Amino acid sequence: MKWNDALKDYQHYLKIERGLSINSIENYTYDIKKLITYVESNSIEASPIKINNDTVKAFIYATSKSLNPRSQARLISGLRNFFDYLIFENYRETNPLDLIESPKIRRKLPDTLSVEDIDLLIKTIDLSYQYQGINLGERNRAIMETLYSCGLRVSELVNLKISDLFFDEGFIKVTGKGDKQRFVPISESTQKYISIWREIRNHIEVQPESKDVLFLNYKGKKLTRAMVFTIIKRLVEKSGLNKNVSPHTFRHSFATHLLENGADLRAIQMMLGHESITTTEIYMHVDRSHLSEVLNKYHPRK
């Protein structure tokens, strides 16, 4: 079996069996492509079936010199998953990474905003801001409210469709990683801000490919992820808030505030669209005083 054939088979498996998006597949196979380049550029006679631990170890050593521990761990994990797939398909009997340990890494907890911080950022929005005759201030408020109210990823936000809005039922349909869909509750106030934007949107000449897309730019095209980052960056600068804020900060703040106010971790997991509850727990960096309050409130023998 040749490297490119093994890579294509693995990509097909990730797409069909795992249901991953194109971006996720690219992330999963990025380091495998680097391994292929390393083998070929060094004229190493090693197919994906025959490559051994020493060759893989030499590649990891050569590649990871400039990488931090987290990136090294991602490199090793990505390669290990690839060779596990080859074992699963009976191409190999052993994984050349079995004896290679990942570096110990500290869990990096995302930044969070207080409710006051979020209020400040939203109040900073110039609701009268227009460009090419289109009121983008109202759009920006609807974006910020939706990010925080529903805990969306930025990719989920920019791909949100009008047909995904079920305001009568109080939910929106969100398409997450691997095209997996979930229903997320949406507050009446956020519904109101989205409705205001939709009235403005009706006066935009929408491009055919974006007819059902909720958030548009002034040209009638779907917003890019980069544009959402830019909107938030400008608001942070204008507000004078001395914090590192990205779209994901709103998602993390959404989850953290829910937990701090007594929400069930399982319910938060479902709203965030996490496959594993362990992933949700990473977001929940609550202080010890809150955990003590939970214990004192709910434990029968406090």
Catalytic residues: 153, 177, 248, 251, 274, 283
Residue 97 near residue 79 (C-beta atoms within 8 A): yes
Euclidean distance between CA atoms 10 and 2, whole angstroms? 12
Euclidean distance between CA atoms 113 and 235, whole angstroms? 14
SS3 content of the chain, % helix, strand, coil (to 5): 60, 5, 35
Which amino acid is located at 187 in the chain? S
3-state secondary structure 220-264: CCECCHHHHHHHHHHHHHHHCCCCCCCHHHHHHHHHHHHHHCCCC
Euclidean distance between CA atoms 210 and 274, whole angstroms? 28
Angle, alpha carbons 119-227-211 (nearest 5°): 105
Q: Per DSSP, what are the bridge partners of residue 184?
A: 172
Residue 252 near residue 281 (C-beta atoms within 8 A): no
Q: Which residues of 210-249 are buried (b: 16+ CB within 10 A; e: fewer)?
A: beebbbbbeebebbeeeebeebbeebbeebebeeebbbbb
